[in-house]
A and B are shown apart, each in its own frame.
Chain A
Amino acid sequence: MSIPKIEMQHVYKSFGNKKVLEDFNLTVSKGDSLVIIGGSGSGKSVTIKSILGLLKPDKGSIKVDGREIVGIGSRELEEINSHSGMLFQGAALFDSLNVWQNVSFGLVQGKKVNLKEARLIAIDKLKDVGLSSEVAELYPDELSGGMKKRVGLARAIASNPELIFFDEPTTGLDPIMSDVINDLIKRCVDHLGATAITITHDMSSARKIANKIGMLYQGKIIWQGSVKDLDVSGNPYVEQFINGRAAGPISMEVRK
């Protein structure tokens, strides 16, 4: 048996008295493209941020490539994170830097690539996400939502990561742009041979990107399986979610 890319065991995380992850378990094999579905505020972003070490779990173990990351020093974490990339929900581009500087940030700061070369790599990566070299000199506040996501995607893949996270890559985009982004993600992941974890609400996007799907509900992965099993999961929670029905076992907490 090979070592899983990610292994989370009995992870707990709460904010104040709000429990977000409770006895959370998840295993992701190398080369998988896992999509995590689940309602807003169910802790999907918290899950990803815990794997990246941005949030520290209260309890439990998180292993990346077999290495425990809970409680390790920031240097080691930096080293591990230099093999991963993340596309944030709001793209999180640095407003003080222009597009190519954003895209090549990890290369320049982390891998000490010189600026001339970094700019060329950035333009190349921008081409990969369908943006022309004219965009390279613009600043984030001059970009549309879809362009920001693409630049964020280019930044996430710039250092050819082995592990990529996408936090709601298509939320807030029109259906056509969403599909463009889905294609890009799929192409990037296939091209890099990377392991990917994507968060989304969007079922058509999930079906397109994923080979595995997991559903997060009340702090746990309550169902995990391959995409083709999704429609025959026999799990009432999953059925309600993928069909978008108001009636069912999941009662939306309207008021918290």
Chain B
Amino acid sequence: MDFINLIGRVFLNFLESMGRFLIFGSKTFYHCFTPPYYFRSIISQMIEIGFYSLPVVALTTLFAGLVIALQSYAGFTKFSAEGAVAMVVELSVTRELAPVMAGLMVAGRIGAAMAAELGTMRVTEQIDALYTLSTNPFKYLIAPRVWGAVLMMPLLVFIGDIIGIYGGYLVCVYKLGFNPSSYISNTWEYLQYMDIVSGMVKAAVFGLIISLMGCYNGYYSRGGAQGVGSAATNAVVTASILILITNYMLTELFFMK
């Protein structure tokens, strides 16, 4: 009997939080597209998310490019197909590695920060205070964060693409002794619009996931400092998992026709 009770309770809790999240999501969507817009906050979020995430994104995509060049070289020499290394680097960086790496890094950096900031504002009643000052927190706090993340993630990924491909070039030219100009022309030959664009679309979706998870967990956090801590953890974990799952689904959507 206890067991059935437990299952029932877990299921009800799940439904409740799903429902709450759906309401949160639709409210956020509504407030993202209705005035007033807080442009100043949007700009400062864009700087925070875009500019200050640049170093981590650059570093992770650089190393992703380096390692993918090494691995594909190691695999392709068996078939004497070293010429395909440039293509593999280009494809994997633009389609998968740059968006996923950037997504996970920004989830760790920004998702946690959003949850902690909104969580602190919740437990210290600053969110209530906003309401009493006739300011809707969805417009003032959440919409700018969502806009910032959705607008800046594609840009970050675009830069990550360039750096990751450059990483592959470095390994191939300076370590494996490829001819630089033929590596570059190989890359250009295989590079397609769709590779870059699909990666940037993924990035925008990941930006949405990161900001929604960060804001949702922060907005509903309670129970003092500990609650804020677990909100931050939850934001990062759920965003990361959702990024990986959505990434798979988007890849299937874009490339399996």
Residues of A within 8 A of B (CB): 49, 52-54, 74, 77-79, 81-82, 84-86, 88-90, 92-95, 105-106, 109-110, 155
The answer for the CA separation of A106 and B134 in the assembled complex, in Å, is 7
Tell whether, in the assembled complex, residue B125 and residue A84 are in contact, meaning their CB atoms are under 8 Å apart. no
Tell whether, in the assembled complex, residue B134 and residue A110 are in contact, meaning their CB atoms are under 8 Å apart. yes
A-B pairs with beta carbons under 8 Å apart, 25 shown: A52-B128, A52-B131, A53-B131, A54-B128, A54-B131, A74-B136, A77-B131, A78-B134, A78-B136, A79-B134, A85-B132, A86-B132, A92-B124, A92-B125, A92-B126, A92-B128, A93-B126, A95-B120, A95-B126, A105-B133, A106-B133, A106-B134, A109-B134, A110-B133, A110-B135
Q: Chain B residues near A106 (CB, 8 Å)?
A: 133-135
Residue of B nearest to A75 (CB): B136
Interface size on B, residues (CB 8 A): 14
Tell whether, in the assembled complex, residue B133 and residue A109 are in contact, meaning their CB atoms are under 8 Å apart. yes
Q: Chain B residues near A105 (CB, 8 Å)?
A: 133, 135
In the complex, what's the smallest C-beta–C-beta distance from A107 to chain B, in angstroms? 9
Q: Chain A residues near B131 (CB, 8 Å)?
A: 52-54, 77-78, 81
Tell whether, in the assembled complex, residue A81 and residue B125 are in contact, meaning their CB atoms are under 8 Å apart. no
Tell whether, in the assembled complex, residue A81 and residue B134 are in contact, meaning their CB atoms are under 8 Å apart. yes
Q: Chain B residues near A109 (CB, 8 Å)?
A: 133-135, 140
Residues of B within 8 A of A (CB): 120-121, 124-126, 128-129, 131-136, 140
Q: Chain B residues near A52 (CB, 8 Å)?
A: 128, 131-132
In the complex, what's the smallest C-beta–C-beta distance from B125 to chain A, in angstroms? 4
Q: A78-B136, A92-B129 are in contact. List 4 more A-B contacts (CB 8 A).
A: A88-B129, A92-B124, A92-B125, A92-B128
Tell whether, in the assembled complex, residue B128 and residue A49 are in contact, meaning their CB atoms are under 8 Å apart. yes
The answer for the CA separation of A123 and B157 in the assembled complex, in Å, is 46
In the complex, what's the smallest C-beta–C-beta distance from B221 to chain A, in angstroms? 15
Q: Chain A residues near B121 (CB, 8 Å)?
A: 94
The answer for the CA separation of A74 and B27 in the assembled complex, in Å, is 11
Q: Chain B residues near A92 (CB, 8 Å)?
A: 124-126, 128-129
Tell whether, in the assembled complex, residue B134 and residue A89 are in contact, meaning their CB atoms are under 8 Å apart. no
Tell whether, in the assembled complex, residue B132 and residue A90 are in contact, meaning their CB atoms are under 8 Å apart. no
Q: Chain A residues near B133 (CB, 8 Å)?
A: 81, 105-106, 109-110, 155
In the complex, what's the smallest C-beta–C-beta distance from A82 to chain B, in angstroms? 4
Residue of B nearest to A107 (CB): B133
The answer for the CA separation of A212 and B132 in the assembled complex, in Å, is 24
Q: Choose from A74, A77, A86 the contact partner of B129 (Cβ within 8 Å).
A: A86
Q: Chain A residues near B128 (CB, 8 Å)?
A: 49, 52, 54, 86, 88, 92
Q: Chain A residues near B134 (CB, 8 Å)?
A: 78-79, 81-82, 106, 109-110
The answer for the CA separation of A30 and B85 in the assembled complex, in Å, is 79
Q: Chain A residues near B132 (CB, 8 Å)?
A: 52, 54, 81, 84-86
The answer for the CA separation of A86 and B125 in the assembled complex, in Å, is 11
Residue of B nearest to A83 (CB): B134
The answer for the CA separation of A90 and B129 in the assembled complex, in Å, is 11
Tell whether, in the assembled complex, residue A88 and residue B135 are in contact, meaning their CB atoms are under 8 Å apart. no
In the complex, what's the smallest C-beta–C-beta distance from B204 to chain A, in angstroms? 27
Residue of B nearest to A106 (CB): B133
In the complex, what's the smallest C-beta–C-beta distance from A221 to chain B, in angstroms? 23
Tell whether, in the assembled complex, residue A89 and residue B129 are in contact, meaning their CB atoms are under 8 Å apart. no
In the complex, what's the smallest C-beta–C-beta distance from B143 to chain A, in angstroms? 14
The answer for the CA separation of A106 and B140 in the assembled complex, in Å, is 12
Give the one of A79, A84, A109 with max B CB within 10 A: A109
Q: Chain B residues near A85 (CB, 8 Å)?
A: 132
Q: Chain A residues near B140 (CB, 8 Å)?
A: 109
